[in-house]
Structure 1
């Protein structure tokens, strides 16, 4: 039986991020995707033009409907809008105890529109992260969660430690917002700390990269892969999705969710910084 996974996120009418990106990624990786919708956006490559949140009652009903019928191995969250909805999702996760919970702390869209109210950050830190097994912030999101600036590799390590202290098992601080030649992601868990690296691709078509990476990671974990192998495979997936861009729209275009089918070369390297046991 194929793994069954769940995404709890907002809808992107442009199809590049959110629920749409997650379900495309799940399908490409051969897992069965279910979904809980938290908000509807009027959105395209030029930006977010409107947001309408789904009621917490409907969010709860969706979680129950999916979790009571399907054997969900891994779940991911994306856009959650505000504290009220974060708390509703956190309660649902606490009730069902999915083996893997990947939190993508979506705060700002590629065009700059806020997708998470400022007042919701505390709920994210105190209600949702303790329910998570993995959190995948980019550098600006990690700065908010850790309450510090990140400028150096040492800063990243310190921020990852601060975020882990909030109760999440593993922190992945993505390196897409740096100007480095390579896109370097830092992964820190209780038993190991390592980096995964890929050549940086110069393109404006990166809409939905965070959603796609976290969805790929969720799928790989559902297959029972180790943390390290799941991260490497997810990084490979999103790298190929960016490398084989579609050049759609007039702004920040979407990634190509079938890019991994067009090129199979391995481009990801792993730099192990700390581990307590063989992996």
Structure 2
């Protein structure tokens, strides 16, 4: 068990409110009067989640987009964000990029906090949303017989990161400025049995969905969408790299998705392994975890 998994397991004993969903989901789901609020918080650290030489405007965009992706996995409509920001010598490009992202996604900044530290810059953002359907989708609803789908390819962010790191000039947009699937999430939410976003790698997130649902998820590698021209020897890397922010979801076998998506597998009764890739349990790292 990683340090991250162990810490979350310890926190689960404290997170007893129903809104927390046992800390086993992408977001908290809080009933307030007649409204259902969706809340999520993500952090990013310099040198871990972005390259030190990156344009801070892109970092601001990604910070907002990754949180909105969590809201997308619940089919939520964003209603505002709170920013936690570590000050640097010049914060101009970050505020410019944040303004661009807020305007692009139509989300207001509601408040937050600032600090200063001698260590790497650390950023946090809390996103608040409004549920557009009930029940709100979770990771835990997949059932044997369901089909498994994803809204787009995996591995594009990996290639974007490598292009940015090497300075090759190849397209790095998918890594720098991901596009949360908010429209798709709202369309899918009333139909799916389970849904989450792919942030830490398709294999790891599929296993998380399988564990939450008490099933086995069987992925067909021949059906998983990949970037055009990806070398065969890089396919396994793409399945575990993460940062794709596509929506992974399950549907009853007689339903088709209401938006473009790719069927990539099936849900089985729980077997000896929670995840199968091409009929066998995959070996090696499944995705990104904080060790």
Normalised TM-score (structure 2): 0.24
Greater share of helix residues, 1 or 2?
1
Which structure is larger by alpha-carbon Rg, 1 or 2?
2
